[in-house]
């Protein structure tokens, strides 16, 4: 599926929602009136300063009125400069009404399952390895956006609260499943007393598949990347044994239930760069983690955008397209490790 088809689908879903589209219109109206007023006042005071300055020279040269008019024209000129700077600051930082509206933009994005419909459309037309149906993203409306007390700007902090993350709920080959993505970051000084901070940003993601047939027998099992010394179960695949550790004793009869030849072959040949672990609780799960030295909006929870940087509908559409591809790529990556364990 090409980009144009996906962007057209975004238009089809979101442009038909008048309440959603009105948020962008409100933002345009909110900044139009003060912009005109500032421009008019700037021009008026600038013209008055020029007229006053040259008028004092032409009509009142070498008189007290010349000095007075020059002082007044200087005040007008300074006022015009101040007004121009105020307009620049407002235009760069955006006004508070526009930033506040972005809180409702996030809410309206998920109202009526619009985002869920887009994701399901993309999955059905691109992903054929397993059957995924009833795809829905659950959105927490407790949005955290705070105002910076210094700049007055509204800043994106978190899109969820009280550890209630966004997640996708769906069926995979007839089994109920959930998929989470979340932003996390860490930092450490490059040297003991240095002010330079080395940061890495990451995305933690997890796929959980419920009603797993061996959940009771294998509860507590964990498959992780191998350590240098492994006292646990060894398979017939030397490459698998080198790459992974599994917390099952060598004589544990449960191992073949999980470590089937197809499963061993798939995970052995898979790209494990972003893999953390595969395991069984009351469900089968895959846990992954991606990191980058640069902050990336794609690391935000599933379906969530960096609304602070959205200036218009075109920005929204482009960011949603990018986030869609990344989220489904992470989901596909996770499914690939579990597909032969179902």
User: What pLDDT is recorded for position 279?
Assistant: 95
Average pLDDT over residues 163-177: 86
Taken in order 226, 217, 259, 236, is the CA torsion positive or negative? positive
Task: Kindly tell me if the per-residue pLDDT of 153 is higher than 60.
Answer: no
Cα within 13 Å of Cα(34), Cβ side: 17
User: What pLDDT is recorded for position 130?
Assistant: 92
pLDDT per position as a tens digit, 80-102: 677 677 766 666 555 443 444 66
CA distances from 132 to 7, 58, 252, 321 (A): 22, 83, 34, 20
Q: Which residue has the higher pLDDT, 160 or 145?
A: 145
pLDDT per position as a tens digit, 99-124: 446 668 888 999 999 999 999 999 99
Instruction: Give the residue extent of every domain in the chain.
Output: 8-93, 111-212+283-341
What does the mean pLDDT of the chain come to?
A: 78
User: What pLDDT is recorded for position 30?
Assistant: 46
Task: Kindly tell me if the per-residue pLDDT of 185 is higher than 80.
Answer: no
pLDDT per position as a tens digit, 288-326: 998 877 777 888 889 988 887 788 899 999 999 999 999
Q: Which two tokens stand for residue 184?
A: 């996390």
pLDDT per position as a tens digit, 196-228: 444 567 788 999 999 999 999 999 999 999 876
Alpha-carbon span 204 to 301, nearest angstrom: 9
Query: Which range (14-23, 30-39, 148-157, 296-305) has the least confidence?
Result: 148-157
Closest C-alpha among 271, 270, 276, 266 to residue 245: 276
Residue 61 pLDDT class (50, 70, 90 cuts): low
pTM: 0.73
User: What pLDDT is recorded for position 181?
Assistant: 86
Alpha helices in the chain (DSSP H): 3-14, 18-59, 64-93, 96-110, 114-126, 215-218, 238-243, 255-258, 261-269, 313-338
User: What pLDDT is recorded for position 162?
Assistant: 38
User: What pLDDT is recorded for position 191?
Assistant: 35
User: What pLDDT is recorded for position 17?
Assistant: 92
Percent of the chain beyond pLDDT 70? Answer: 65
CB 286, CB 278: distance < 8 Å = yes
Residue 76 pLDDT class (50, 70, 90 cuts): low
pLDDT per position as a tens digit, 39-53: 666 676 566 666 656
pLDDT per position as a tens digit, 230-263: 667 888 898 999 999 998 888 888 888 999 999 9
Residue 282 pLDDT class (50, 70, 90 cuts): very high
User: What pLDDT is recorded for position 158?
Assistant: 45
Residue 16 pLDDT class (50, 70, 90 cuts): very high
């Amino acid at each position: 599926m090409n980009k144009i088809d996906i962007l057209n689908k975004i238009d089809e879903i979101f442009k038909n929602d008048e309440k959603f589209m009105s948020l962008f219109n409100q933002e345009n109206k909110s900044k139009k009136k003060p912009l005109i007023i500032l421009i008019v006042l700037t021009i008026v005071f600038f013209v008055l300063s020029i007229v006053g300055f040259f008028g004092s020279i032409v009509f009142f040269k070498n008189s007290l009125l010349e000095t007075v008019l020059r002082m007044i024209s200087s005040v007008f000129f300074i006022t015009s400069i101040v007004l121009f700077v105020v307009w620049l600051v407002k235009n760069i930082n955006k006004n508070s009404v526009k930033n506040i509206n972005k809180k409702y933009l996030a809410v309206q994005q998920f109202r009526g399952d619009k985002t869920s419909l887009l994701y399901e459309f993309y999955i059905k037309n691109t992903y054929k390895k397993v059957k995924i149906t009833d795809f829905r993203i659950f959105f927490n409306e407790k949005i955290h956006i705070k105002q910076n007390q210094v700049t007055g700007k509204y800043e994106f902090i978190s899109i969820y609260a009280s550890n209630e993350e966004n997640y996708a709920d769906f069926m995979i080959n007839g089994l109920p499943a959930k998929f989470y993505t979340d932003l996390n970051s860490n930092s450490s000084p490059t040297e003991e007393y240095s002010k330079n901070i080395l940061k890495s940003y990451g995305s933690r993601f997890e796929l959980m598949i419920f009603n797993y047939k061996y959940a009771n027998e294998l509860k507590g099992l964990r498959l992780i990347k191998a350590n240098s010394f492994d006292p646990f179960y060894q398979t017939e695949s030397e490459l698998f044994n080198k790459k992974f550790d599994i917390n099952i004793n060598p004589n544990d009869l449960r191992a073949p239930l999980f470590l089937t030849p197809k499963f061993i072959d798939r995970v052995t040949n898979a790209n494990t760069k972003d893999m953390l672990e595969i395991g069984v609780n009351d469900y089968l799960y895959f846990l992954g983690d991606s990191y980058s030295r640069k902050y990336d909006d794609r690391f935000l929870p599933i379906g969530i955008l960096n609304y602070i940087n959205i200036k218009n509908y075109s920005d929204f559409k482009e960011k949603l397209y990018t986030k869609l591809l990344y989220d489904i790529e992470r989901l596909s990556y996770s499914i690939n490790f579990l597909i032969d364990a179902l």
